[in-house]
Amino acid sequence: MTATAPAPASAKDERLIHRSVLRKLLGRPELGSVVGAVAVFVFFSVVADSFLRASSLSTVLYAASTIGIMAVPVALLMIGGEFDLSAGVLVTTSALVSSMFSYQMTANVWVGVGVSLLTTLALGAFNGFMLTRTKLPSFIITLGTFLMLTGLNLGFTKLISGTVSTKSIADMEGFASAKKVFASQLSIGSVDLKVTILWWFGLVALATWVLLRTRFGNWIFAVGGEADAARAVGVPVYKTKIGLYMGVAFAAWISGQHLLFSFDVVQSGEGVGNELIYIIAAVIGGCLITGGYGSAIGSAVGAFIFGMTSKGIVYAEWNPDWFKFFLGAMLLLATLLNAWVRKRAEATA
């Protein structure tokens, strides 16, 4: 059949010349968010004098990292075609379990941290298991988990400690080393960087590698893009989805431990509403809400935009009440830009 093949594989295809580097860039899911991030950066650099200082940028990065750590697995889950509305309160649950277990058992805090990891992963697996078993939309399943966890967080905390926050574990064994891992500051020159930024970058790198270079990553795109076709060629659709929910749980554990060890107590009502911010970061970063398309790096850019906006408003000395308005406008603009860019890229591919 080589007779019908016009060009050898190595030769440049003459039809490819129109697809320049720019066009290739336009085809990336992150592009819209990068353009948005540059615009936001320039905007705040102009209106807020103190925005460009190194200390300000480290604050921005910290704000971005607390959202970004969760936005990474939420983006992966969204590429896999599902939502997790329980992600926000799961962070709080993870922190509460860790804190209360250590306190009640008077154990080394690392024991609590370990128990928290297992509990949180089990909750993630529960989400995934319920989803694949009942075949209900993930919106409903995780909305249920969200409400149940919100109630459990508050109910258990009040039951055990009598107030809405946990008891301080600052004087307990292992606290110092755990704080070092989850909530320390690294000084590079005159700039203080929070350790969460490292966790965040690490997770982004890991998720990008998994997504683009492993079989599991291939399956994530497939189950989100066309689950039936994926199953027909032998992709374990259910296991993939359960795995993605456990990924969210793992990141919730990291975030939860940071929450706990940044201070030494946990407020049981925290986390409500954050699940939407994670989803916003993923969508701004180019994840398709219907699944099958997106990137981990995009979610990081989305989180960075969030960090810049939330802190930029403060540096510009505006009333922070306006923040939500900006976030909403950003979401709409980014989604429109993404849709437009993708249409252009596909039309000229």
Partner 1 sequence: MTDATLTKSAASPLVELDDVSKYYGNIRALEGVSLEVHGGEITCVLGDNGAGKSTLIKIIAGLHRHDAGAFRIEGEDVSLSNPREALDRGIATVYQDLAVVPLMPVWRNFFLGSEPTKGAGPFKRLDVDLMRRTTRAELLRMGIDLRDVDQPIGTLSGGERQCVAIARAVYFGAKVLVLDEPTAALGVKQSGVVLKYVAAARDAGLGVVLITHNPHHAYLVGDRFVLLKRGTMTGSHLRTQITLDELTRQMAGGSELEELSHELQRAPEPHLGGGAADTGE
Residues that bind partner 1 (CB under 8 A): 1-2, 4-7, 9, 13, 15-16, 19, 209, 213-215, 217-218, 221-222, 225-226, 229-230, 232-235, 288, 292-293, 346, 349
CB 17 to partner 1: min, Å: 11
Instruction: Tell me whether residue 246 or residue 288 sits nearer to partner 1 (CB atom).
Output: 288
Instruction: Tell me whether residue 177 or residue 218 sits nearer to partner 1 (CB atom).
Output: 218
CB 12 to partner 1: min, Å: 11
As a whole number of angstroms, the distance between CA 103 and CA 97 comes to: 10
CB 339 to partner 1: min, Å: 14
Instruction: Tell me whether residue 317 or residue 346 sits nearer to partner 1 (CB atom).
Output: 346
Cα-Cα-Cα-Cα torsion 34, 39, 41, 47, nearest 10 degrees, comes to -170
Instruction: Tell me whether residue 159 or residue 347 sits nearer to partner 1 (CB atom).
Output: 347
Instruction: Tell me whether residue 4 or residue 190 sits nearer to partner 1 (CB atom).
Output: 4
Instruction: Tell me whether residue 144 or residue 225 sits nearer to partner 1 (CB atom).
Output: 225
CB 85 to partner 1: min, Å: 24
CB 226 to partner 1: min, Å: 4
CB 250 to partner 1: min, Å: 15
Q: Is the dihedral of CA 282, 283, 286, 287 positive or negative?
A: positive
